[in-house]
Chain A
Amino acid sequence: MAFQPVVLWTDALIYLLLVLTAVTVWHTRRHEHLITPWRRVARSRTAQIAMVVLSVYVIIGLLDTVHFHPKTGEDEQGKPIYSTEVLSLFDQLAGPLRTEREKTYSAPFATHMFSKSNIELPDGTTVRDFPRLKYGGAHLGDDVSGKGADIVVRGMRGAFEGALLWLLLLFALCRFRPQRLRDLLTGRSETPWHYAAWTLLIVLLLGGAVAELAAKYHILGTDKVGEDVFYQALKSIRTGLVIGTLTTLVMLPAALLLGIMAGYYRGWVDDVIQYLYTTLNSIPGVLLIAAAVLMMQIYMANNADSFNSVTERADLRLLFLCLILGVTSWTGLCRLLRAETLKLRELEYVQAARAFGVGNFIILVRHVLPNVMHIVLITIVLDFSGLVLAEAVLSYINIGVDPATNSWGNMINSARLELAREPVVWWSLLAAFAFMFTLVLAANLFSDVVRDAFDPRLRQQR
């Protein structure tokens, strides 16, 4: 085999999340009353646009989740030797972005370094000038006067390829019938997907141009150690998504179980559970996270031998951060579930089930659980953007992800001091800002639509 698969802890949980999502989708599709709110979501213009943007992020994040050790060679018996480095499918696709490292800072689209240094000329003399980048715009040779034209031509070509891909993709989706394609693009089909289709065009135009340009230039510059900022920003997507989704996933079982039990059984069970979440809730979140992460750092420092590689350690730290964020955030959901269950247990159908002698467990699973799921869903989508933002803040105060992990927080953290330079090194910040803003904005808009569609209280008002 040309590679040896690696499944990190967060990878495994992401796969679990995918399976859960697939099961939910399959289950939803079979029940008309479950699809109805989703139809409402799909009909919203904002939700369609946000969905396309979010799927782009999710696809990149998923590609970055499939990890493996690449093969480096073979030993005498012909057995393959694998590198200790952990790569992902995304790294493989990004190819030159990952490997082409400059010496230090360079501006977006630059062909020369950002600061002057001594260059030794072939005749032995040294001059102080901006050194030529090794990879950025290398195809131009030493004469870089044609750079502007080259960027325009390449950008146009990429955009054209993107448009072509878009047309092909949609045509395939419409099973190659022109009439259907026309209906789709003008919004005359049953669910008007045309906003999504046009957004996809913009995304592909942009994506095509960016892909074409990123192959030859550092389109967002390079950072202090010469790594491509665009690559870093793309790699950070996975971290953001992991924090945003896995946190909710790991806290969900506890919140569901305790919230429903407190509301259903009342009495001392309720008292104990309420005490539990009031206590946890009364510690300000940042402080609890700080305390827990500090303790974890000590543990990791003292047990450094038990981790095989830097990647593994960084991954475990990411998982732990999700866990501790989950511990601080399950209380809100738990309280909502408790209140809802308190209401549900007095409703006629639950009373009737009890009168028939149905056991508590069956009542909980069959009658209560399905009727609180909309709260769970709303909480998941509403929490997502807040968690992505929290990651950046926590990484900034050094209690977030491992410094070796690519994350927007780490990018901001390392770029912050460079604002004091003259001239300013702004591109790392801009990249982190743009990627984070797009994701969080899309998530915010999407979650608003989902909440409006699923919250029965809001539905009545209209």
Chain B
Amino acid sequence: MSAYIIRRLLYAIPILIGVNALTFVLFFVVNSPDDMARMHLGDKRVTDEAILAWKQEYGYDKPLLYNREGQGTEAFTETILFEKSIRLFVFDFGRSDSGRDIGFDISQRMWPSLAIAVPTLLVGLAVNITFALLLAFFRASYLDFWGVVICVAMMSVSGLFYIIGGQFLVGKLLSLVPISGYDTGMSALKFMILPVIVGVIGGIGSGTRWYRTLFLEEINRDYVRSARAKGLSEHLVLFRHVLRNALIPILTGVVVVLPLLFIGSLLVESFFGIPGLGSYTIDAINRQDFAIVRAMVFLGAVLYIIGLLLTDISYTIADPRVRLD
């Protein structure tokens, strides 16, 4: 097991190098630092001195790959590649284009993201599994048919409308909770309710339908027929046998997104004004702060790879038939 984990961790290294190379090409080769400087300074003041000053201020004035003036290893370390890209490997994100420490910002902002994302995931999971079990229990009936139709209809609504509708209905018309904002400590609770509800409702359509398929797949298996044949009641079959076996794909599907919960949801956070990593990213995109976007791309990739690793491990725990070696 541990040998497998170590091997998987080693396998992650080339992938991270690939991600890093890709972001490097995207951010520094497609457009040179000069282009970025021009973009930031606006069209009016584009003298060469201004560009040079901007690049110096943000540390983009070094050569891309190889510094001819450097001594020894400095020929490689005094470059944009090393300063801006390779340092990401030790999670040194550097400073954003507005001068703030990105690593510090991330460590501050991941908590509000988690505060929204974790309840959304848990409540959503409970709601989706309940509905899916209900549909599977009444399979091939009118309830099942219309349930699936409603699921498909709910899937066809853009997430934007769930958010806008929720804000309008609950926040503005009924004035039950604040429309947007965030607070520290327990008073954050009233700001969390609406985003969580909206997030859960937005996921019901696809989630319920997907889990229902999983349940139905299990229901057609031989062991379920045996369980029925030995005289178990339908709901015992459903809860003791089908649910437990269907939980394997459900849980492993959840595990892969667990690390990404840190990043949170871009849309929900920006609409509800939650100071998490999602709105951090959106703000960076709108301000064209490339350092932050670059850091988030790398962080996202790292978290995704951790998620894949966790998935493989959780398989062995949830399903004793799977052995990793």
Contact = CB atoms under 8 A, between A and B. Distances in A.
- A and B form one complex: yes
A290 B285 contact: yes
Given A392-B158, A441-B156, A295 B30 contact: yes
B293 A287 contact: yes
B305 A294 contact: no
Given A301-B39, A398-B285, A393 B159 contact: yes
Interface stretch (B14-22, B73-81, B127-135, B227-235): B14-22
Interface in B202-217: none
A279 B11 CA distance: 11
B160 interface: yes
Contacts of A412: 158, 160-161, 164
A292 B281 contact: no
Given A389-B159, A445-B152, A283 B300 contact: yes
A50 to B, nearest CB: 11
A341 interface: no
Contact of B19 (A282, A419, A433): A282
- Mostly, the B contact residues are helix
Contacts of B62: none
A440 interface: yes
B277 to A, nearest CB: 11
Interface in A270-310: 275, 278-284, 286-288, 290-292, 294-295, 297-299, 301-302
Interface string B2-24: 00000000000011001100110
Interface in A387-419: 389, 392-393, 396-399, 408, 412, 416, 419
A35 to B, nearest CB: 27
Interface stretch (B64-72, B189-197, B244-252, B263-271): B263-271
B137 interface: no
Given A294-B290, A444-B155, A284 B27 contact: no
Contacts of A301: 38-39
B160 A393 contact: yes
Contacts of A399: 285
A290 B152 contact: no
A275 B18 CA distance: 9
B252 to A, nearest CB: 17
B267 A433 contact: no
Chain A residues touching B, majority SS = helix
A297 B38 CA distance: 12
B35 A298 contact: yes
A399 B263 CA distance: 18
B184 interface: no
A437 interface: yes
Interface residues of B, number: 48
Contacts of A291: 23, 26-27, 293-294, 297
Nearest to A438: B156
A282 B35 contact: no
Contacts of B153: 441
A372 B14 CA distance: 30
B286 interface: yes
A397 B23 CA distance: 20
Interface in B29-59: 30-31, 35-36, 38-39
A299 B26 CA distance: 11
A293 to B, nearest CB: 8
A284 B305 contact: no
Nearest to A284: B300
A306 B157 CA distance: 38
A385 interface: yes
Contacts of B168: 419, 424
A34 B157 CA distance: 33
Contact of A392 (B19, B39, B160, B308): B160
B288 A441 contact: no
A72 B290 CA distance: 45
B220 interface: yes
Contacts of B87: none
A393 B30 contact: no
A281 B301 CA distance: 8
B282 interface: yes
A110 interface: no
Nearest to A440: B156
Interface in A424-462: 424, 429, 433, 436-437, 440-441, 444-445, 448, 461
A233 to B, nearest CB: 14
Given A412-B160, A436-B158, A283 B19 contact: yes
Interface in A378-392: 385, 389, 392
B200 interface: no
B198 interface: no
A283 B22 CA distance: 10
Contacts of A278: 15
Contacts of B27: 291, 295
A158 B194 CA distance: 44
A67 to B, nearest CB: 28
Given A299-B30, A302-B35, A436-B158, A397 B285 contact: yes
A294 B282 CA distance: 12
18 contacts: A282-B15, A282-B308, A283-B304, A295-B27, A295-B30, A298-B36, A298-B39, A385-B155, A397-B266, A397-B286, A398-B285, A416-B164, A419-B167, A433-B161, A440-B155, A440-B157, A441-B152, A444-B155
Q: Which 8 A-B pairs have the closest CB atoms?
A: A279-B18, A441-B156, A284-B300, A440-B156, A282-B301, A282-B304, A298-B31, A287-B297
